């Protein structure tokens, strides 16, 4: 017995909220298509090093070289002495934010670039951002290992029990990235300038996040009257990347009291991730029936 899937735009119920309930079955959908996700993941990882002499070792050499540059510039040249603490602080923030922005930027065009698959009626296009988020976690983990080893060897990081909670942070980042990726992928189908606009927004977002600056420096400016208190509050509570970056630093063994409480940061980051997933998934699934006509 065969079944035909039928879709009628005129009779299909409209609205975004009605597409929210199937979100509970999203993990099962991903699991059902796990082999496809794995093939996409493998293709993307191998495609980055295909034809190169060092191959997969570039995944390790790139963060090592990046840390060496940060250590030399910020730990030796601009530092008061051979103090690598700021170099580690900067490096730990960069690897998190780079993974986040790389994944969301690639997700912008994931539907358009896979138009031949999306046009197939039975193809689950909402699964496409999964492998992109997974690749970003792999590249982050390589950088995190470099950060952890170098930080421990230099006495800047003190890994403890919170390191065991790193998988929780990675899970939050994964949900965060997938939700945001679904939102951007859907938007890019209708507005093809989304990718270029997102690059500009992401660059601004990076400088508004605690990647290059420390919270205590802004607090000093607030006390000195050089920065309104609401501006710091907005950067801390209204920035989804703030708790995620701080949770990563604490999990890797950061000992600066200004980093805050790990579980508080993780809880706030998880709330942001859940919100992005709900919005991104519901908007994507409510519009995906139009994709075939627009790509």
The Cα–Cα gap between 50 and 48 comes to 6
How much is the pLDDT for 52? 60
**Residue 3 DSSP SS3:** coil
* Range 157-168 average pLDDT: 89
What's the whole-number average pLDDT of the chain?
A: 82
How much is the pLDDT for 187? 92
Cα-to-chain-centroid distance, residue 65: 22
The model's pTM is: 0.85
> What's phi and psi for 106, nearest 5 deg?
-65, -30
Outline where the chain has alpha helix (H).
26-32, 34-49, 58-70, 85-108, 110-113, 115-118, 128-153, 166-190, 194-208, 215-223, 229-237, 241-251, 262-287, 291-294
pLDDT tens digits for 193-244? 899 999 999 989 988 888 888 888 888 887 777 778 877 788 888 899 999 9
**Assigned token pair, 105:** 């930027």
Q: Is the pLDDT higher at 154 or at 66?
A: 154
How much is the pLDDT for 6? 47
Q: Would you say residue 120 has pLDDT above 80?
A: no
Angle at alpha carbon of residue 210, lines to 209 and 214, rounded to 5°: 145
- Residue pointed to by tokens 């999203």: 26
Instruction: Determine how many CB atoms are found less than 10 A away from the CB of residue 6.
Output: 7
**Assigned token pair, 206:** 């990076």
Q: Would you say residue 14 has pLDDT above 50?
A: yes
* Range 168-194 average pLDDT: 93
Is residue 177 within 8 A of residue 100, CB to CB? The reply is: yes
Q: Would you say residue 12 has pLDDT above 80?
A: no
**Assigned token pair, 133:** 């988020």
How much is the pLDDT for 3? 43
Q: Is the pLDDT higher at 176 or at 82?
A: 176
Q: Would you say residue 4 has pLDDT above 50?
A: no
The Cα–Cα gap between 78 and 85 comes to 12
Q: Is the pLDDT higher at 52 or at 265?
A: 265
Candidates 175, 207, 181, 179; CA nearest to 194 is 181
pLDDT tens digits for 39-98? 988 888 777 666 666 555 556 666 667 767 766 666 566 655 556 777 788 888 888 988
The Cα–Cα gap between 19 and 57 comes to 43
Q: Is the pLDDT higher at 137 or at 8?
A: 137
First-to-final CA distance of the chain? 33
Half-sphere exposure of 187 (CA within 13 A, CB side): 18
- Residue pointed to by tokens 């093809």: 192
The Cα–Cα gap between 172 and 224 comes to 36
Is residue 67 within 8 A of residue 147, CB to CB? The reply is: yes
Half-sphere exposure of 189 (CA within 13 A, CB side): 25
Q: What percent of the chain lies above the pLDDT cut of 70?
A: 81
* Range 24-42 average pLDDT: 88
Reported as a pLDDT band with limits 50, 70 and 90, residue 280 is very high
């Amino acid at each position: 017995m065969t079944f035909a899937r039928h879709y009628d735009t005129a009779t299909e119920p409209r609205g975004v909220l009605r597409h929210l309930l199937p979100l509970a079955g999203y993990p099962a959908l991903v699991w059902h298509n796990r082999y496809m996700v794995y093939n996409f993941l493998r293709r993307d990882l191998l495609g980055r090093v295909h034809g190169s002499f060092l191959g997969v070792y570039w995944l390790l050499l790139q963060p090592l070289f990046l840390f060496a540059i940060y250590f030399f510039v910020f730990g030796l040249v601009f530092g008061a002495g051979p103090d690598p603490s700021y170099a580690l602080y900067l490096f730990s923030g960069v690897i998190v934010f780079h993974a986040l922005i790389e994944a969301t930027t690639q997700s912008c065009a994931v539907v358009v670039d896979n138009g031949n698959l999306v046009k197939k009626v039975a193809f689950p296009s909402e699964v496409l951002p999964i492998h992109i988020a997974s690749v970003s976690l792999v590249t982050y983990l390589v950088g995190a290992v470099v950060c952890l080893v170098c930080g421990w060897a230099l006495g800047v990081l003190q890994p403890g029990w919170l390191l065991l909670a790193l998988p929780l942070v990675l899970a939050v980042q994964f949900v965060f990235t997938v939700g945001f990726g679904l939102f951007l992928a859907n938007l890019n189908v209708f507005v093809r300038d989304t990718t270029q606009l997102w690059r500009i927004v992401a660059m601004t977002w990076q400088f508004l996040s605690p990647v290059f600056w420390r919270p205590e420096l802004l607090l000093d400016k607030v006390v000195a009257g050089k920065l309104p208190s609401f501006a710091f509050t907005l950067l801390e509570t209204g920035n989804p990347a703030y708790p995620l970056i701080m949770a990563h630093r604490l999990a890797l063994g950061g000992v600066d009291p200004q980093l805050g409480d790990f579980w508080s940061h993780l809880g706030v980051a998880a709330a942001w991730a859940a919100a992005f997933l709900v919005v991104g998934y519901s908007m994507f699934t409510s519009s995906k029936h139009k994709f075939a006509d627009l790509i």
